[in-house]
Amino acid sequence: MNEQLNEAPCGFFTLSEEDTILSVNQTLLKILGHGHEEMEGQHINFILSASAILFHQLYLVPLIKLENHIEEIYISLKSADGEEIPVLLNAVRRERDGRTIIECVVILMRKRNELENELLLAKKEAMTALHAKNMAYADLENAHETVKMQKEKLIELNGKNEKYKMETEREMELAKKIQEALLPVPISNEHLEIQAYYKGANQLSGDLYGFYQIDAHRFGLILLDVMGHGLSSALITMSLHSIFQRLILKGSEVGAVMKELDDLLHSLFNNTSETSYYCTAVYLLIDTDKKEIRYINAGHPPVVLQDVNGTQYHLHSNRPPLGMFEGISFTTTAITYNKDSSLFLYTDGVEEPLGSDQLCSLIKNHSKAPLSTLKQEIMESLRNGKNLDSCKDDQCFILVKLN
């Protein structure tokens, strides 16, 4: 690293594609209180705060891979003594000497907070001066000039905040596209047909589903609903997605899938009441050769299983929601089904505006109709639901036809 870059008035470091710190300049070392030998070779998580670790894994990594650069992202670094240091991060991904590296620049943000405090204090002092009966004319003029200067700074700061708001909205839209890209495409083959519907209450959703063909006769279906909705819930669902997709595709047992998801939620938040999250979830492992369904329902609305005659069975919750209690055992329940049966999985955002009775009636009345027709009927009912105005939750459902 050349001397100018090493002593630059901003922090600079480089990362490998595996997020290993390759180099770091002297400025950043002084900011964080580390030495070269402590930082180089470490994973990026070594200098990130707890919140920044999650944000980096679920948002920054996909973003740099998608756009090859990051501009003015606000995160917190962790110093050697544990202090959280607010910074703006800029990064670019490029090829150098036959390998991919990520160059990062960080700029301290402490002055911004100080400036806002100064503006508020100056305004208060100016108002006091204007109403003081015995203030001299010269003092009033000086106070007026101070207010004018601070107002100009405030206007400038408001402009920057508006720009930041627009950039945040753009980044939220990008995060929405990343989240939607995780959703699987419908499945249709000689064994079964699967279709799904997904609509977030906000720009980002706390609902997520996945269905995968494991081998010639086995299919895995999972549906999760993280507490709340919006950015925080969406980040949790994206974190859970990488776990359940890997486990399902390698054919893991139903209990093993749910336990690892439960362990992840506990490890993310260390079970602190201020930050803990839980989610309801249901996972079904379908064997079309044996005509058997092995499942665990963790606090989720019951799955509706309907046979060819229209008789309906409900796969009720048999475990508490994931992330709620530690040390829970996940025991699998197994049931068999007949040819031409169907399944309906849904989140409470679908049940609340319609009610479980109306949902079950819709499924029974369209037992002979194509899945696409039933899907449209449920969507239309959701749009016209009596309780639609009071329901502000994410909406998601999955329809399965078992041939």
CA pseudo-torsion sign 3, 4, 9, 14 = negative
Confidence (pLDDT) at 218: 97
Confidence (pLDDT) at 116: 62
Each residue's pLDDT expressed in tens, for the chain with a length of 403 residues: 788 899 999 999 999 999 999 999 999 999 999 999 999 999 999 999 998 999 998 899 999 999 999 998 999 999 999 999 999 999 999 998 889 999 999 999 877 656 666 767 877 877 776 666 667 677 778 888 888 888 888 888 888 878 776 775 676 666 667 667 778 999 999 999 999 998 876 656 678 899 999 999 999 999 999 886 566 777 787 888 989 999 999 999 999 999 999 999 888 866 555 556 789 999 999 999 999 999 999 999 999 999 999 999 999 999 999 998 988 999 999 999 999 999 999 998 898 888 889 999 999 999 889 999 999 999 999 988 765 554 567 889 999 999 9
- In angstroms, the CA 396 to CA 346 distance is 6
Confidence (pLDDT) at 174: 63
How many contiguous H segments (helices) and E segments (strands) does the chain have?
A: 12, 16
- In angstroms, the CA 258 to CA 37 distance is 40
Contact 229, 169 (CB under 8 A): no
DSSP-derived 3-state class of residue 149: helix
Burial class from Cβ neighbours inside 10 Å (0-12, 13-18, 19+) for residue 155 reads exposed
Confidence (pLDDT) at 274: 54
The full DSSP string for 342-371 is EEEEE-HHHHHHH-HHHHHHHHHHTTTS-H
- In angstroms, the CA 62 to CA 238 distance is 11
Structure token pair of residue 369: 């109709």
C-alpha count within 13 angstroms, C-beta hemisphere, residue 194: 20
Confidence (pLDDT) at 179: 64
Query: What is the number of residues in the chain?
Result: 403
Element (H, E) at 188: strand 187-188
- In angstroms, the CA 233 to CA 269 distance is 13
CA pseudo-torsion sign 195, 296, 314, 394 = negative
Confidence (pLDDT) at 97: 86
Confidence (pLDDT) at 239: 82
With vertex at residue 29, the alpha carbon angle to CA 28 and CA 32, rounded to the nearest 5 degrees, is 85
Residue 147 — φ and ψ, nearest 5°? -60, -40
